[in-house]
Structure formats: C-alpha cells, structure tokens
Structure 1
Amino acid sequence: MNVRLIGVPMDLGADRRGVDMGPSAIRYAGLADTLDDIGHTCVDVGDLSVPRPELSSGDGDAVDAKYLAETEQVCRDLRETVEEALAAGEFPLVLGGDHSIAIGSIGGSARAGSTGVVWFDAHGDFNTPATTPSGNVHGMPVAAVLGRGEFADADWAYAPTVSEENVAMVGIRSLDDAEQEALRDSGVSVFTMSDIDDRGLTDVVEDAFAVATDGTDGIHVSLDMDFLDPNEAPGVGTPVRGGATYREAHAAMEYVADHLDVVRSMEVVEVNPILDQHNATAELAVELVASAVGKRIL
C-alpha cells in the first residue's frame, strides 16, 4: 500500500496533558521504517496544526464541551487531509493525539462512501455535551460522527454515511451511566471485555467486522491504546485495568490485516509519553500497526 502518515498532536479533548506528544513518540519508535520493511510505501506529511490550550478561545473550562471550537477546526482539517489521501489512492494512517480526532478521521473516510467503524477502546466515547460528566470531547467522537444530540446539526462532526448499525466497539470496560443507557438504546454493537473473556478475542473481532462490513463500502479502524491493559501499555491518556493482553491485541490487528481489502483507513491514538516507560507504549503501537498492515511471524 501507499501509506500516508498524518500526525495530529491534539490534547484539547482530554484533561491530562501529554498525548499531544503521541505522534512524535510513535514516529521515534520507528513506524515509517517498519512500514517500509513490510513492503509498503510510506509518506509522512507531518503534523496538522493544533491550537495550544494557552492560546485558545477561552472555552477550556466549559462544562459541556471544552475547546469545542478548536476541536472543530482541527477535525475539519483532518477530514480534508484524509479525504485527499483516499482520493490519491493512499491509505490514511492517523497518529494521535487524543481520541477526539476520530471525528475528523472518520469524517474524511466516510466521504468515500458508506462506512463501518471498528472501535478498539476501553471506553465507549458515546457522550454528548448534554450527558458528559467531564466536558472532555475525547469522550464524544462516536456520538459526534453519528449525529447524536447536539451533534445532529454539526456538519463538521456528523457523518451521514456512517450508520449506528455498522459501528462495533471492542474491549469496552468503562462507561458513564448516561453512555450505558444511550448505547443500550442505540444500534451500536458493543463487545465488552467480558465478551472477550467468555468467547475469545478472535470470535469477538470476527463479529465486529461482520457488523462493520454489513452493506458498507469500507471500514475505518480506530485503535485507542487503552484497549490494552495498563500493564502492557502504561503510557496512555486514560488507563483502565482489565484490558486486552499483548497477544490478544496482536491477534486483533492480525485480523485487521486479513481484511485490508475492506479497511479504508486507520488511526492509533492516546499514546502519552509523559506516563510511559522508555517509550514502551509507542513501540507497542508501532508493533500493532505493523500487525494491522501485514507483518507476520512467518
């Protein structure tokens, strides 16, 4: 493939600083060379511009959605960049940054046609400004692209070619009360860590892909590094105990590689070098991306 690396050093969507350094940490861990070694052509277009919190418009303390105007600006730029990559026949690989950037990456991918989403994450990210307990937009991107609540009229966020029935979440283990209720009432398929415990990772991911590919033209894969247990990936924005193991995460990404004919775009987010140990989480992110794009043991 021709892979276009797009960095989005965004930390406006979260309370904790540091994930803005995620793209640099992943690059430093050797992502471009790894992709080249697999046989892909890799072009790194650098980082999109992200406003600094200190220079923001002043809504950083908003109760309902912090830095929403700045997030809109970044996601509009990212949507255009992803769309351009797809139009050029490239595979957009987005490096975050906090998970709010998924609004832009999914939005750009969704312009190519009906789009399914496989969402590897500890969290549902299904809040809206009306339901969020924190005001952090990185807890809202799935709701945003589905046009729920206040996002229904937000043309920068809502992606009409993404249907709830084609969104599958894998590895979920931390939901706010309002998210639980909203997800139960939605068409989104949620596979929790309990499902993985009961059925095994491969069966769950197979079902998630079946959901995402049902009647769609392509899918977007979103990998939040907190999908893994903190013992495996300590340097993440919002760690939650009880996540996927090292081997489970690789198995999931190997399944992605087996279905690259339908995977249109991908992102890896929430690497926080401040909380990491010797860049281990960024190095693991590179390993997992490599598995997702075709690296094999034999």
Structure 2
Amino acid sequence: MDKDVRIIGVPMDLGADRRGVDMGPSAIRYAGLADQLDRMGTTCVDWGDVHVPRPEETDPDAADPFDGRAKFIAETETVCTRLAHEVADAVSAGEFPLVLGGDHSIAIGTMRGVSRGGETGLVWFDAHGDFNTPTTTPSGNVHGMSLAAILGKGSFTDTDWAPAPNVPEENVALAGLRSVDEGERENIRESDVTAYTMTDIDTRGVTEVVSEALDIATNGTDGVHVSLDLDWLDPTEAPGVGTPERGGVSYREAHAAMELIWERVAAPGLLRGFETVEVNPILDQHNRTAELAVELVASAFGEVVL
C-alpha cells in the first residue's frame, strides 16, 4: 500500500440476531493483522474501536421510525455516524481506512465516510444480498438491510444518516450470493446493481466474475470500496461467522479474488477503503476464521507468492 493504514474496529452485533460478532475486531487483531501488514512493509496505526452501546443497555424497538421493523436502529445510526466521521478523517489525512467488524450494518458508516471524496464504486462479497428494507425484512436485523440503506432504498430514502453520497447503483456489484429473501430478491431485481450468485462463480469461475465486478465498480468512478463478509466463504473454510451458509467459495477462490483486488484496484491506487465483517469467535475453531480474514486482507494489500 502506498498509504499508511488506519485500522478502525467496530465491535457491533446490534444488527444481527446472534451474539458474538462484536468480538470480531479483537479476534482479527489477535490473529496478527498489524504484524502481517508490518511484514509486508505497510505502515499501520490502530486507532482502537468505535464505541458501541451494549445490547443489554438498550431497547431494540426504541426510537424506531419504522414501526419496530429495524431493531436497534437508533443505536445503529449513532455508531454508523461515528464510524463515518472516523473513516472520512482517515481519508482526509491521506490514510487508508481498514475497518474491522462487527456485523455488516457497519458498512453503512464506512461507505458514508469513504464516498465523501468522490464517486465510489462498491464490490460487496457476501452470501446474502443485504438488500432488505424495513418493509421487506423478515427479521428486523439491520445487517440484512445495510446495502439497501447505503443506496437509500425504501424507508432509508428519508434518513439523513444512511444513504452514502456518490455511490451510483450502476457501479455496485454483489458477488457470491446464495441466500436471498423473497422481498430483497425483488428489490435487487428492480435496482441497477449487478448481482452474481454462486452459480455464476461455479459456471464462469471466480476470476472472471470478480474481474467483471471490478469493471463495473471502476467504470467512471473515482475509486472503489471493498466490503468482505467472511460468510462469503464456505463454512468449511470459515466456520466462525455470524450467519454461515453452505456452498460458498473455497479458500483458494477467496485468495484469487483478493489478489485481483490488489492487481486491479489497490496497486493502481483506486482502492479507497476495505472492511471485513461478521467474524464470530464464539462459533470459530481456534480463531481460524479471524486468521483467514488476516490472510485475505494481506492478499488484497499485495501479499504474493513470488
């Protein structure tokens, strides 16, 4: 990386229905993230964690303008607003924001911060669409609404904290979908985003799909943000995730994708931010998923075999 990296942790699990992903940032740090980046010659500074309220101290349905269809929405707004300021500050300081989650609702804050400086494409690696809105969600969990919120879909249109500036729908690509709710399926079809399922990866290969996704994200934009949910991988590779789904990408496919991130956008200076989310140490085996997250970040930041 040609910039200093600012590591920002967000120990957030308010957007999910299973506890544990709040410990994800600590697990990733413990897995040796800073040491790995140092070995690669990348200067990094860990700015610690954004403060997140404890679920036990809050009411999941309080201050919900969506009639109870978005749990902990007031707290999510607060955390994402703090994160957006932190990320924007890193960008303004000429640093590269590397955000560690936490559940995927934190992407709302990351994207608001990253995209303030110009039009930003987005590649979203995930088993899930995260394209529900408060009117389509079957669970009320905001981590399943995060991409819809970023794009100002449904009820999020009228909020002043969720939609990210300068993120054109046509420059957003989802890769690796294999679990999509009926309501969000319709939302995705009606949008201008491009969605690739695991069937696309199976039939076309991960490098072709990710290359095309990067073409979409870089077409006419000033840069690209990458949001990596570890449940994109198969649970045999990444068992410690918030919402595991069978049939994900393999270890080698994931590295191939991250190596393309380096080659296509990071090395040329087009990568504006990176986040990795949904590591759940409670469900993990010997911190295996957090260690994998560190490996994948390293591949995206230029770690190569030769």
* TM-score of the two chains, using structure 2 as the length reference: 0.96
1:182 Cα offset (Å):
1.0
- Secondary structure at 2:117 match in 1: coil
The alignment of Structure 1 onto Structure 2 pairs a total of residues equal to 298
**Pairing 1:131–2:136 present:** yes
Question: Which deviations, in whole Å up to 9, do the C-alpha atoms of 1:36-92 show, x marking residues without a partner?
Answer: 100100100000100000111452797400000000000000000000000011110
The structure 1 residue matched to 2:209, chosen from 180, 188, 204, is 204
Aligned equivalent of 2:279: 271
Please give the alpha-carbon distance, in whole angstroms, between the structure 2 residues aligned to 1:160 and 1:21.
29
1:155 Cα offset (Å):
1.3
1:123 Cα offset (Å):
0.4
1:154 Cα offset (Å):
1.1
- Secondary structure at 1:207 match in 2: helix
The structure 2 residue matched to 1:83, chosen from 85, 88, 93, is 88
Aligned equivalent of 1:283: 291
Alignment-mate amino acid for residue 19 of structure 1: V
Gaps of 5+ in 1: none
Please give the alpha-carbon distance, in whole angstroms, between the structure 1 residues aligned to 2:305 and 2:76.
39
Aligned equivalent of 1:178: 183
Question: Which deviations, in whole Å up to 9, do the C-alpha atoms of 1:248-283 show, x marking residues without a partner?
Answer: 000000011112121100000000000000000000
**Pairing 1:104–2:109 present:** yes
Alignment-mate amino acid for residue 82 of structure 2: D
Aligned equivalent of 1:245: 250
**Pairing 1:71–2:73 present:** no
**Where has structure 1 moved over 3 Å in runs of 4 or more?**
60-63
Q: Is the contact between residue 63 and residue 134 of structure 1 (CA under 8 Å) also seen in structure 2?
A: no
Alignment-mate amino acid for residue 142 of structure 2: V
**Pairing 1:36–2:44 present:** no
1:134 Cα offset (Å):
0.1
The structure 2 residue matched to 1:296, chosen from 277, 286, 304, is 304
**Pairing 1:150–2:155 present:** yes
1:160 Cα offset (Å):
3.1
Q: Is the contact between residue 8 and residue 50 of structure 2 (CA under 8 Å) also seen in structure 1?
A: yes
Aligned equivalent of 1:166: 171
Please give the alpha-carbon distance, in whole angstroms, between the structure 2 residues aligned to 1:194 and 1:54.
40
Alignment-mate amino acid for residue 167 of structure 2: V
Q: Is the contact between residue 110 and residue 162 of structure 1 (CA under 8 Å) also seen in structure 2?
A: yes
Please give the alpha-carbon distance, in whole angstroms, between the structure 2 residues aligned to 1:185 and 1:72.
26
- Secondary structure at 2:44 match in 1: strand
Percentage identity across paired residues of the two chains: 67
Aligned equivalent of 1:11: 13
Please give the alpha-carbon distance, in whole angstroms, between the structure 1 residues aligned to 2:294 and 2:125.
16
Gaps of 5+ in 2: none
- Secondary structure at 2:224 match in 1: strand
